[in-house]
Structure 1
Amino acid sequence: MASLINLKTFTDKRGNLTVIERAVPFDIKRIFYIYGVDDSERGGHRHHKTIQAAICIRGNCTIYNDNGRDECTFVLDSPDKCLLIRPEDWHTMYDFSEDAILMVLASEYFDANDYISTPYVYQYSRV
C-alpha cells in the first residue's frame, strides 16, 4: 500500500531546502510534473513495474489509492510530504488547488505497456 514519508528539510532565516536524495527506495529514471489542473481527475491506473514518489511542491491535491485489499486517501499539502506509490496501487489524483504543482519521480522510463487502467474488481460488496 502507498505510504507517506517526510522528506528531510533544512530551515533557516533564508528559507527552506528539502532534500530528496536517498529518500526514495529506487533509482530515479523519470521525473514529470502536473499543474494547471481544472476539476479533472488524473491518473486512474496502476503499473506492472513502476514505483512512484509524488510530491506536491506547491499547493495541494488528494491521491486515492487501492491495492486490491485496502483503500486509502492521502492529502499532499506540503512540499516535504512524499507519497510512495507501489506498482500495485491503482491511484487517482484530484482536488488540485489552483496553484498546485505535483512532481512525480518514477523508477522506470515511460512504457505504455507498464500501465494497467482497469481498477480492481471486488467479488463481494466492500460495505
Structure 2
Amino acid sequence: MKQTTLADIRLIDVPEVHDKRGSLVVIENDTFAFNIERVYYLYDVPTGSKRGGHAHRQLYQLLIPLSGSFDVYLSDGISERTFFLNKPNKALLIVPGIWREISNFSSGSVCLVIASSKYDENDYIRDYDLFLKSKI
C-alpha cells in the first residue's frame, strides 16, 4: 500500500460552465490525475447511517455531493480530518492508504463516486486495526 498522509488529500474545483440556463459540470478522463474506470453513487442513505468504513490499497476516488450534503471523515493512521461536502462543483480526492467514513447525509443527498479502477475486494482494508498495521 502506498504510504500516503492527509497532506495528499485535495479538495478540487470541478470545471464548470455557467450561463443563463444554469450550470454544467464537465468530467472527462483528463479532468483529474487518474483515468476513470468506475462510477457509482450513494443515495437514500438512512438518517444516522454511515458508508465507507474502509481504506484502499491502490484505488483513487473522487467524492462529489451532487445533491445535499454529508461529512467525510479521513484518517491516515496518525492524523484525522473531516470534510463537509455540500457543493456539486467541489470534488474530494481520496488517495490510496486513507481510511474513510461518510456520515451525516442530509435528506435527498447524493454522493457521486468516481474511481480509478473497477471493484476489487482485494483492494479493501475493512478492519481499522489491520489498516493501522499496514501503515507501519
Q: 1:8 aligns with which of 5, 10, 15?
A: 15
Structure 1 unaligned residues grouped into runs of 5+: 123-127
The range that moved more, 68-77 or 95-104, is 68-77
Consecutive aligned runs of 4 or more in structure 1 exceeding 3 Å deviation: none
**Percent identity at matched positions?**
39
The alignment status of 1:55 with 2:64, answered yes or no, reads yes
1:68 and 2:82 are equivalent in the alignment: no
TM-score of the superposition, structure 1-length normalised? 0.91
Q: Which amino acid aligns with 1:29?
A: E
Which residue is 1:17 aligned to?
A: 24
1:107 matched to 2:116 = yes
Q: Does residue 29 of structure 1 match 2:59? A: no
Residues 47 and 121 of structure 1: CA distance in aligned 2, closer, same or farther (over 3 Å): closer
Letter in 1 for 2:34: F
Unpaired runs of at least 5, structure 2: 1-5
Q: Residue in 2 aligned with 1:87?
A: 96
CA distance, structure 1, for counterparts of residue 21 and residue 76 of structure 2: 41
TM superposition shift of 1:121 = 4.3
In 1: Cα distance, 2:23 partner to 2:16 partner: 7
Q: How many residue pairs get matched?
A: 122
> Secondary structure at 2:122's aligned position in 1?
helix
Distance in 1 between residues matched to 2:105 and 2:98, nearest whole Å: 20
